[in-house]
A and B are shown apart, each in its own frame.
Chain A
Amino acid sequence: MTTVGVLAIQGDFAEHRKTLERLGVHVREIRMPHQLDDIEGLIIPGGESTTIVQLIDIYEMRERLRERILRDRMPTWGTCAGMIVMAGYLSDHRPQPLRLMDTRVSRNAFGRQVDSFETELEVSGMDGPPYCAVFIRAPVFESVGESVEVLASLDDGRPVAVRQGHMLATSFHPELTDDDRMHRLFVDMVERRA
């Protein structure tokens, strides 16, 4: 059985856990570096990116995360705060991201909480009706490198879901809706590798 880790130091890790378990995936909550050793995929959940990055460093997880994701090419997906954590660069230079992806990300790109919104997206490679995406104090990709495939964009052209090989990142929160198509896409990435 496939085991997917969910980084559980802060944020909505329980919602990811529930969705994965509904899909029949074995889930492990990750709070310490050694727990990264025997998982086959990792989700970095929504939460407060500043807090998550602080805690990654306080618990000395940065190096182990980079080894597992970059060297071992473990499939990894970041939602919202997770996408910030995985970014190559942030436009406001804090916190210090893990520099996993060839992306430049701007935080709180839509304003404050009163500007948080839901909208419908066409996601490339996803069958069925448009995807209902929930954006909460959400980040956006300012630019992405050539090796990064854009899976979905807003009407104004800004990308909000991308894939770079074994890494996936979304501005929005698939774990807050009942639509599990993004989770299926990720589990498929994990299983193809395993």
Chain B
Amino acid sequence: MAIDTLTTRTETGTWRVKAGLAQMLKGGVIMDVVTADQAMIAENAGAVAVMALERVPADIRKAGGVARMSDPSKVAEIVEAVTIPVMAKARIGHFVEAQVLEALGVDYVDESEVLTPADENNHINKHDFKVPFVCGARDLGEALRRIGEGAAMIRTKGEAGSGNIVEAVRHARRVLGEIRRIRNMGDDELMATARDLRAPYELVKDVQENGSLPVVNFAAGGVSTPADAALMMQLGVDGIFVGSGIFKSANPDRMADAIVKATTHYQDPSILADVSKGLGDAMPGLNVADMPESERLATRGW
């Protein structure tokens, strides 16, 4: 039944319902899936949401060329298959892809550097949408710029499709370290800090007052083992995106299961040891330091 049958003042697409959905995902794992079958494996393993894609980032990397929004029929098939929320990716700045995804009924849009950017200067004005957005960030300034544009959830960029956690760690440490620094600042230092971070002053002030980002903050880009997931949780993120790490591993069902458990029990090394046993090979990894700048996805967007 539609909510327009209600007569009391009722509002959809408010900041509270957009940021609120991300709060419901906390402590959970969001998995990249390319088919309805994979979506069901993810749901059965206890994923809190799936990211519907045509190709996982490792394959996007291999294929090269221009990576765009997935075929809507693919997204619709996955929306039909599961009852957990479904996310999908739009290119940076491509607000029409985002409009299409909103019309398809996806629950979250990821304005993602994994796809080829459509606009090198501007990100999507996310306030214009009822569907909430998640965006990647490498540091606090970038996170606050995205929130200023209306992002209701932040994730680290990491280096998608690399199977290497090093960039996600770098980005999470930077964001969380900058938050700690600002929390201890006097009010008179905030404007200069906003200038240095190239971030909206009001949001810098909010970080100082609350000691955290105003939205939920997940790790993404390189998580490929249960220990990687627990590492990111111990560093202080609210949850985990796993891209290629599950369906590019030797045993996706077990890997999915193990990463979910590791994310709940990230503080319990004996459970982590248990779930990490006999998973077979994790996805093959890439050495990010050897990667030419042009192949790094994290440098897309600003």
Point out residues on A near B: beta carbons under 8 Å.
Answer: 8-15, 31, 46-48, 50-51, 54-55, 58, 80-81, 92, 94, 107-121, 134-137, 154-156, 158, 173, 176-177
Contact with A along B5-39 (1 / 0, CB 8 A): 11111111110110011011111100000000000
* Residue on A nearest B263 in the bound complex, by CB: A10
Query: Hey, which chain A residues are within 8 Å of B23, CB to CB?
Result: 12, 15, 46, 176
Question: Which residues between 250 and 277 of chain B lie within 8 Å of chain A, taking CB atoms?
Answer: 260-261, 264-265
Chain B residues whose CB sits within 8 angstroms of the CB of A155 once the complex forms: 5-8
Contacts of B12 in A (CB 8 A): 114-117
Q: List 11 A-B contacts (CB under 8 A).
A: A31-B264, A47-B28, A47-B48, A48-B48, A54-B44, A110-B3, A115-B2, A116-B12, A120-B8, A134-B16, A155-B6
Q: Which residues of B contact A15 (CB under 8 A)?
A: 23
Residues of A contacting B: mostly: loop
Alpha-carbon separation in the docked complex, A112 to B130 (Å): 11
CB-CB nearest in chain A for B265:
A31
Question: Taking the complex as formed, is B58 at the interface, i.e. its CB lies under 8 A from any CB of chain A?
Answer: no
Hey, which chain B residues are within 8 Å of A135, CB to CB? 17
- How near does chain B come to A4, taking the closest CB pair, in angstroms? 19
Looking at the complex, which of B100-108, B182-190, B223-231, B282-290 is the stretch in contact with chain A? B100-108
Residues of chain B at interface, number, CB under 8 A:
45
Query: Cα distance A136–B26 when bound, in Å?
Result: 14
Contact of B130 among A58, A114, A119, A137 (CB under 8 A): A114
Would you call B43 an interface residue if the criterion is a C-beta within 8 Å of the partner chain's C-beta atoms? yes
Q: How far is the CB of A30 from chain B (nearest CB, A)?
A: 12
Most buried by B among A13, A81, A118: A118
CA distance A115 to B1 in the complex (A): 11
Q: Are A48 and B25 in contact (CB under 8 A)?
A: yes
**Bound state CA distance, A185 and B16, in angstroms?**
23
A136 and B131 contacting across the interface, CB-CB below 8 Å: no
